[in-house]
């Protein structure tokens, strides 16, 4: 049994007056052949951030448009197909300026029954945010969005700012950081929009002695 499905020349964007993210697809194809692993090929022509998300338009150059073609991660279940990839970005350091722990990830979910096509993009994650340091001042954050033809299914972002310092005395080294930030999440579930906006304070310290003894403590409020 051979199964072949394809959809070509279409855009995925918000319906309504507001436009946030527009994904221009050249084609999506799915091929399943007896005795072989399923094949998913997604060709993206362009990804555009618009409206309230125009501030992340500079990230567009980081998106590999061929990442979904023969993707590194492909999961085919009776519920649908999930194709995804992630990309670690190099650190940037110039003088007292340092931008570290950068990553980009994207996923495409095509359900077989019910639901609709979902596309998600994320710049770093909540568990592993990027870090920005300028002298003693530091910050970080992450941004993620999941989009369907009906609108935004999930939008999550956090940004923080504070101070950080690292010490090294040879036999012992450690770091201390104090951060304050904001967290925002908007989610569409069962036709209802839920939004969350919160602020937080986070203090963290760690120490290491000759690689034999290490300790860390974090206060989150």
Name the token pair of 88. Answer: 């670690």
For the stretch 183-203, pLDDT in tens is 999 887 777 778 889 998 988
Sheet with 2-12: strands ordered across: 2-12, 21-33, 39-49
Helices (H), the chain: none
- Rounded to whole angstroms, the Cα distance separating 34 from 43 reads 24
- Rounded to whole angstroms, the Cα distance separating 9 from 66 reads 16
Distances from the Cα of 19 to the Cαs of 43, 56, 168, 183, in angstroms? 22, 14, 49, 22
pLDDT of res. 15: 47
Phi and psi at 61, nearest 5°, equal -65, -15
Report yes or no: 131 and 137 within 8 Å, Cβ to Cβ: no
- The overall longest dimension of the chain from CA atoms, in Å, is 67
Distances from the Cα of 6 to the Cαs of 44, 103, 173, 191, in angstroms? 14, 30, 56, 28
- Rounded to whole angstroms, the Cα distance separating 151 from 111 reads 17
Phi and psi at 140, nearest 5°, equal 180, -175
Report yes or no: 202 and 220 within 8 Å, Cβ to Cβ: yes
Residues 6+ apart with CB under 8 A from 142: 122, 123, 124, 125, 126, 128, 129, 130, 156, 157, 158
Report yes or no: 123 and 140 within 8 Å, Cβ to Cβ: no
For the stretch 6-61, pLDDT in tens is 888 877 765 455 666 677 778 888 888 888 877 777 777 777 777 666 656 665 66
Most confident of 61-70, 142-151, 187-196, 207-216: 207-216
Q: Mean pLDDT of all residues in the chain? A: 79
Three-state secondary structure readout of 81-135: EEEEEEEEECCEEECCEEEECEEEEEEEEEECCCCCCEEEEEECCCCCCEEEEEC
pTM tops 0.75, yes or no: no
């Amino acid at each position: 049994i051979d199964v072949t499905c394809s959809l070509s020349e279409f855009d995925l964007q918000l319906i309504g007056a507001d436009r946030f993210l527009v994904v221009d697809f050249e084609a999506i194809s799915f091929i399943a052949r007896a005795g072989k692993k399923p094949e998913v090929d997604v060709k993206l022509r362009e990804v555009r951030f618009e409206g309230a998300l125009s501030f992340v338009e500079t990230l567009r150059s980081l998106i590999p448009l061929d990442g979904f073609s023969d993707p590194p991660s492909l999961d085919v279940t009776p519920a649908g197909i999930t194709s995804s990839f992630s990309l670690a970005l190099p650190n940037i350091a110039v003088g007292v300026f340092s931008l570290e722990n950068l990553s980009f990830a994207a996923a495409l979910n095509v359900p077989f029954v019910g639901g609709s096509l979902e596309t998600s993009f994320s710049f770093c994650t909540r568990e592993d945010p990027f870090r920005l340091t300028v002298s003693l001042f530091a910050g970080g954050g992450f941004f993620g969005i999941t989009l369907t033809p009906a609108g935004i299914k999930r939008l999550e972002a956090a940004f923080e700012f504070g101070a950080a310092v690292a010490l090294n005395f040879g036999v012992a080294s450690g770091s201390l950081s104090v951060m304050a930030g904001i967290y925002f999440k908007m989610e569409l579930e069962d036709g209802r929009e839920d939004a969350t906006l919160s602020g937080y304070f986070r203090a963290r310290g760690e120490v290491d002695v000759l690689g034999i003894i290490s300790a860390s403590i974090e206060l989150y409020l």
